[in-house]
Amino acid sequence: MIAVSTSWVSENTDSARAILEAVQSLEATAVELDYRIGPEIYRDLRGLLKKAGIRVVSVHNFFPTPELAREPSGDVFLYTSDDDRERELALRYTLKTLEACAEVEARAAVLHLGRVPLREQVDRLYELHGRGGLEGPEGRDAWAELAARRAAMAPRYLDRVLLALDRVLRAAERLGVAVGIENRYHYHEIPSLEEIGVVLRAFRGAPVGYWHDTGHAHHWQVMGWASQEDFLGTYQNDLIGLHLHDARGREDHLAPGTGEVDFGSVARYVRDGVLRVAEVHAKSDLESYRAGLALLRSLGF
């Protein structure tokens, strides 16, 4: 079974009914609720989905959209923030996400873990990539500097993540839901390829696993940081869920089959019981999305 994320429609509507109808247009029987859905829409949508017989399999933090959020985002509050209050807000609203998971009987909550404050250096690499200079001396120097700075700075921020997850996972265990740690799009974000393992080892036996995002992994491959297979091959035994979407170059969240991701290769790593969620954004039309879902089914997802 392939669930669909409400992210395909939620950005462009404030109507629970419109979200339901979009899900039904894809002939989906299961969904992931995304972080753009506010409390009022959630209240209405929950009943509509149940009446329509559509299961909720996962929920993306922060859900429903926090009333203090500047805008909906999976990173609206950071466990890695230098601000004590922001870190507490990140915990408070993650616990609300877990409670929503339990309310709708979803199996997992998908979490972003934060970042090391090196965005300007990462953007420098994107600039070099855009003008074809990533492989030259300037690109190699910029990459070496970024990698060294991240390695030196990351332990401080990773410690904050581990402290937060200790509380999050105790609540998840009490509520009977799992937590999926998602691979991220940008190099300065946590977790890196290696940090996924650090987190999983630190909480071995707790309700936590790896959540693989195909578009993010493709972006890492395009930038030369790691391959799709590096992530899946390393953590296939810890895999609890996937966000399935296509990507072209650095653009992701496309309908499967319209980009460069080799979904046949991805499928080889997916065992029974792993949640499969198509996370396509509104840039893809209904026809492309339905064709993409058919492609995924034909490949064994």
Segment 241-258 mean pLDDT: 98
- Chain centroid to Cα 227, Å, comes to 17
| Sign of the four-CA dihedral 190, 194, 200, 203 | negative
When divided into structural domains, the chain yields a total of 1
Q: How many Cα neighbours within 13 Å face the side chain of 288? A: 16
Tell me what the pLDDT averaged over the chain comes to.
97
In contact, 257 and 291? CB cutoff 8 Å:
yes
pLDDT-based confidence at 60, cuts 50/70/90? very high
pLDDT at 193: 98
Quick one: DSSP state of residue 5?
E
CA distance 46 to 16: 9
Amino acid at 211: W
- Which band of pLDDT confidence, cut at 50, 70 and 90, is reported for residue 47? very high
Quote the pLDDT of residue 260. 98
Enter the pTM of the model: 0.97
Asked if the model's pLDDT at residue 176 lies above 90, the reply is: yes
What CATH number is associated with residue 132? Answer: 3.20.20.150
- 151 is in which domain, residue-wise? 3-298
pLDDT at 115 over 90: yes
Q: How far is CA 197 from CA 94, 201, 259, in A?
A: 22, 6, 29
Are 34 and 7 in contact, with CB atoms under 8 Å apart? yes
Query: What tens digit of pLDDT does each residue of 183-198 get?
Result: 999 999 999 999 999 9
Are the CB atoms for 229 and 265 separated by under 8 Å? yes
Nearest to 119 by CA among 189, 211, 64, 49: 189
What whole-number distance in Å separates Cα of residue 270 and Cα of residue 161? 27
Task: Quick: pLDDT tens for 273-296.
Answer: 999 999 999 999 999 999 999 999
CB count in 10 Å sphere of residue 200: 18
Q: Which helix (H) or strand (E) holds 252?
A: strand 251-254
pLDDT above 90: residue 70? no
